[in-house]
Chains A and B, each alone.
Chain A
């Protein structure tokens, strides 16, 4: 039964459907949740879904890890290293923005005691 899931096409479908589901879970949370921390969580979920989609679609099972050794001198039959580097960078940036956002939310809560996005309206006129 598991061999069925090991086929490259099936893996691609699972990755696409799964990560897009996750993306819409995040989008749903972003649109419906009122608590600031939950909104930041939804944004993080959307980001992670995209990272999973990219890494999952670009990964080839039969290919090698992109590391040059004594036996392996050229980039033949290797996985593409660019997406991995790119996603690592994007994860770091996403983490930094998330931490900054949560710290803003905490500071704001300390000052005003509000966490509900609908109550944060002092600047609207």
Chain B
């Protein structure tokens, strides 16, 4: 039953918010956070039971079905954890600088959480489309929430690219239904490889274009930096912590099911590598901090894309590690940027030179080192595993590209770190309140914990990688009901 709770409770909360708002804005804020905390505890309580598999089917094989196995549990836990960290940060942030029409903001947050979890859990291609759109819609509104010209501009760009993406996804789903006559992922997966080659390639291309916009892959990622710049840093933490990761998982989950032999794997690997190197090169000359981290997100997401595309256990384990490390590091950085922006009213790159906040400085540096993949930080083990997987497969061009991209990343991260420690005039000291200190300390502690003792989680991630790649037992399980 629990897998439905993860989707139903946040959605129900959204519908019930008009009633809850009778108790005032504080009531809504605290109930929302309490609900997310409850979901987090639920997810943690499930991690203990192993091996955990739960299938909810309503009238199989026609109806809706959700599958909660190890790898989806990993993503559910990650997303609820990110949302809890965000909510606790916001609870303190709203005392001084609350968003307008706050009840709407909480509805959107919960819709975003529900749809990200739904993307991960659903094993029905039409439900994937529905959650794809719900996540999109809540992200569009969150982007344009402030209703300033640049926020609206970003919202319009996001919405246009998103609706073009959904057209291609619908086209792919329609062709799949016309050829196979089912929407269930398992049944489609059984027949997909036997389709005529032309149709298979055509469907795959449509699918790649549809998801390509959302997983931010070159050349379909032109909108990303504009969206990050136009929206607030607060919301950006959700975009790079939750939304992209949900789309990435959904895309590769479906890809592994439909094409277990990895027909297009070489093409996807090189696509990811090209996006990575381009993103890192463009990031070098950015002057706005939100844009810098937008491009760094693009680079990291492309690295995850490349690793997933290899379709080997080691690479997937590495990719899951990078997902964990990147989500935590990016939420730290964007929340810290929110605090900086609130105090200094600017996010130009030069603002770091006058930054007067020792605590935030340390936190940002740790997060950046983790993104870089320095040993003893969370990002290292993931990058190492991915490099090892490519070395084992003897795909040396990709190895070279990953290393060059990391060096380029190092160039601009160390530039930023240099700015932060430059001697010179400083602005007024930023006061970081207790709740924020708690959240930042918790998140940086997690970065160091995963970095220093990766074995606490590597077994779980290895099992997750196995489950994710094992399409045969997934199909058998789902068809049996």
| Closest CB in chain B relative to A34 CB, distance in Å | 13
Binding stretch for chain A, among B156-164, B301-309, B365-373, B456-464:
B156-164
| Closest CB in chain A relative to B256 CB, distance in Å | 24
Asked if A93 and B130 make an inter-chain contact with CB atoms under 8 angstroms apart, the answer reads yes
Alpha-carbon distance A24/B129, docked complex (angstroms)? 23
Beta-carbon nearest neighbor of B147 in chain A: A107
Alpha-carbon distance A105/B159, docked complex (angstroms)? 11
Instruction: Report chain A residues within 8 Å CB of B174.
Output: 50, 53-54
A36 within 8 A of B: yes
| Closest CB in chain A relative to B276 CB, distance in Å | 21
Asked, given contacts A101-B159, A108-B156, whether A124 binds B226 with beta carbons under 8 Å apart, the answer is yes
A58 within 8 A of B: yes
User: How many residues of B are in contact with the other chain, CB < 8 A?
Assistant: 42
Interface centre among B148, B177, B288 (most CB of A within 10 A): B177
B57 within 8 A of A: no
A61 within 8 A of B: no
| Closest CB in chain B relative to A32 CB, distance in Å | 15
Instruction: Report chain A residues within 8 Å CB of B164.
Output: 30, 43
Beta-carbon nearest neighbor of B167 in chain A: A46
Alpha-carbon distance A40/B286, docked complex (angstroms)? 31
CB contact list, B115-147 vs A, under 8 A: 126, 129-130, 133, 136-137, 140-141, 144, 147
Asked if B226 and A123 make an inter-chain contact with CB atoms under 8 angstroms apart, the answer reads yes
Instruction: Report chain A residues within 8 Å CB of B129.
Output: 90
A83 within 8 A of B: yes
A97 within 8 A of B: yes
Asked if B153 and A120 make an inter-chain contact with CB atoms under 8 angstroms apart, the answer reads yes
Instruction: Report chain B residues within 8 Å CB of A104.
Output: 140, 144, 152, 155-156, 159
Instruction: Report chain B residues within 8 Å CB of A22.
Output: none
Asked if B149 and A100 make an inter-chain contact with CB atoms under 8 angstroms apart, the answer reads no
| Closest CB in chain A relative to B18 CB, distance in Å | 18
Chain A 34-47, CB within 8 Å of chain B: the 1/0 string?
00100110010011
A111 within 8 A of B: yes
CB contact list, A73-125 vs B, under 8 A: 80, 82-83, 86, 89-90, 93-94, 96-98, 100-101, 104-105, 107-108, 111-112, 120, 122-125
B332 within 8 A of A: no
Asked, given contacts A97-B166, A104-B159, whether A50 binds B178 with beta carbons under 8 Å apart, the answer is no
Selected contact of B150 from candidates A54, A82, A89, A122, CB within 8 Å? A122
Interface centre among B150, B154, B163, B291 (most CB of A within 10 A): B163
A57 within 8 A of B: yes
Q: Which secondary structure dominates where chain A touches chain B?
A: helix
| Closest CB in chain B relative to A90 CB, distance in Å | 6
Alpha-carbon distance A39/B159, docked complex (angstroms)? 12
Selected contact of B126 from candidates A53, A86, A96, A97, CB within 8 Å? A86
| Closest CB in chain B relative to A65 CB, distance in Å | 18
Asked if A54 and B159 make an inter-chain contact with CB atoms under 8 angstroms apart, the answer reads no
| Closest CB in chain A relative to B136 CB, distance in Å | 7
Beta-carbon nearest neighbor of B287 in chain A: A125
Asked, given contacts A43-B160, A57-B178, A58-B178, whether A123 binds B136 with beta carbons under 8 Å apart, the answer is no
Asked if B163 and A97 make an inter-chain contact with CB atoms under 8 angstroms apart, the answer reads yes
Asked if B156 and A101 make an inter-chain contact with CB atoms under 8 angstroms apart, the answer reads yes
Asked, given contacts A101-B156, A107-B147, whether A43 binds B167 with beta carbons under 8 Å apart, the answer is yes
Asked, given contacts A104-B156, A123-B230, whether A89 binds B140 with beta carbons under 8 Å apart, the answer is no
Beta-carbon nearest neighbor of B222 in chain A: A124
Alpha-carbon distance A112/B153, docked complex (angstroms)? 10
Asked, given contacts A43-B163, A83-B177, whether A112 binds B144 with beta carbons under 8 Å apart, the answer is no
Selected contact of A54 from candidates B136, B154, B177, CB within 8 Å? B177
B171 within 8 A of A: yes
CB contact list, B433-481 vs A, under 8 A: none
Asked, given contacts A54-B174, A86-B126, whether A100 binds B153 with beta carbons under 8 Å apart, the answer is no
Instruction: Report chain B residues within 8 Å CB of A53.
Output: 174
B280 within 8 A of A: no
Beta-carbon nearest neighbor of B144 in chain A: A104
Which B residues form the contact surface with A (CB < 8 A)?
62, 126, 129-130, 133, 136-137, 140-141, 144, 147-150, 152-157, 159-160, 162-164, 166-167, 170-171, 173-174, 177-178, 181, 183, 226, 229-230, 286-288, 291
Which A residues form the contact surface with B (CB < 8 A)?
30, 36, 39-40, 43, 46-47, 50, 53-54, 57-58, 80, 82-83, 86, 89-90, 93-94, 96-98, 100-101, 104-105, 107-108, 111-112, 120, 122-125
Ordered by A's residue number, 15 sampled pairs between the chains whose C-beta atoms are within 8 Å are: A43-B160, A47-B167, A50-B170, A50-B171, A57-B178, A58-B177, A82-B177, A86-B173, A89-B126, A101-B163, A104-B144, A107-B147, A123-B153, A123-B157, A125-B286
Known: A54-B178, A57-B178, A123-B229. 9 other contacts (CB 8 A): A40-B160, A43-B160, A82-B177, A104-B152, A107-B144, A107-B152, A112-B149, A120-B156, A123-B157
Q: Which 6 A-B residue pairings sit nearest by Cβ, starting from the closest? A: A123-B226, A108-B152, A54-B174, A101-B159, A93-B133, A111-B149
